Structure 1
């Protein structure tokens, strides 16, 4: 059984490597590896509610709340109570967040370039297709694993 290989092992290794990379690269902005994903989603969906963001990132409410609190404390996000539902908050990016937007995307592109250097263009495209297929699978999209 010593030579058994499984996909999860490699996905885990890649995830841990990316976590360390992003943690190091984003530290100069006071952002940890746990917050950049939320910031990226807010760049694409500024003004969404915290609940909508939780669904987009496929993490639990507590994780989202902690990440948003950190981004808020660092001055990147404002939580604004919705008029229609006083329990819900809209998330709005600040000017400070807009000022680092190009840097954030640059860091993401650097990581992407590093990964793609391991593959030919065809392999890279095939990997994207396979990962996209896996991401959209019923296994990954089960509601009960994200609650």
Structure 2
């Protein structure tokens, strides 16, 4: 039991540290630590709907709605009615969002470098492999869907 508790504790500590880091870094853009993931996903897949983002990020609909509203209010995202379903909206990045794209990726890369700085390449690769395995496990998928 002690081993399970320590895994959760360490994951929690890393998560909290990342939230603090991202909050400080993204604050200058008016973006909170909760919105940058949405921007990243839209940079890779512009035009997704809120529902698609919710599913990709494994979050609940209300969290996605709040994050998109904040990004919209800050001028980073626009909702465009979907041509095939007039009740749904595609999310389009604005010039403002595209103007900070390199900054967003730079912040992400800096965090990645900081996280991996105490690991050698083999350890780093193994860590990513194990975290991906955990994230993709049926247990994690089941818990996220049941939230």
TM-score range, shorter chain: over 0.9
User: Superposition pairs for residues 84-123 of structure 1, below 5 Å?
Assistant: 84-123=84-123
Q: How far did 1:3 drift?
A: 8.8
Q: How far did 1:130 drift?
A: 0.4
Return the TM-score normalized by structure 1: 0.94
Quote the Cα distance in structure 1 between the aligned partners of 2:2 and 2:52. Answer: 43
The equivalent of 1:73 in structure 2 is 73
Larger displacement relative to structure 2 (57-66 or 76-85): 76-85
Cα RMSD over matched residues?
1.7
1:102–1:54 Cα change, 3 Å = same
| Cα shift readout 1:66-116 (whole Å, capped 9, x = no counterpart) | 000000000000011112222211000011100100000000000000011
1:7–1:83 Cα change, 3 Å = same
Return the TM-score normalized by structure 2: 0.94
The equivalent of 1:42 in structure 2 is 42
1:3–1:108 Cα change, 3 Å = closer
The equivalent of 2:146 in structure 1 is 145
| Cα shift readout 1:14-66 (whole Å, capped 9, x = no counterpart) | 11110010000000000000100100000011001110011011100000000
Q: Which has the higher helix share?
A: 2
The equivalent of 1:64 in structure 2 is 64
Aligned residue pairs, count: 146
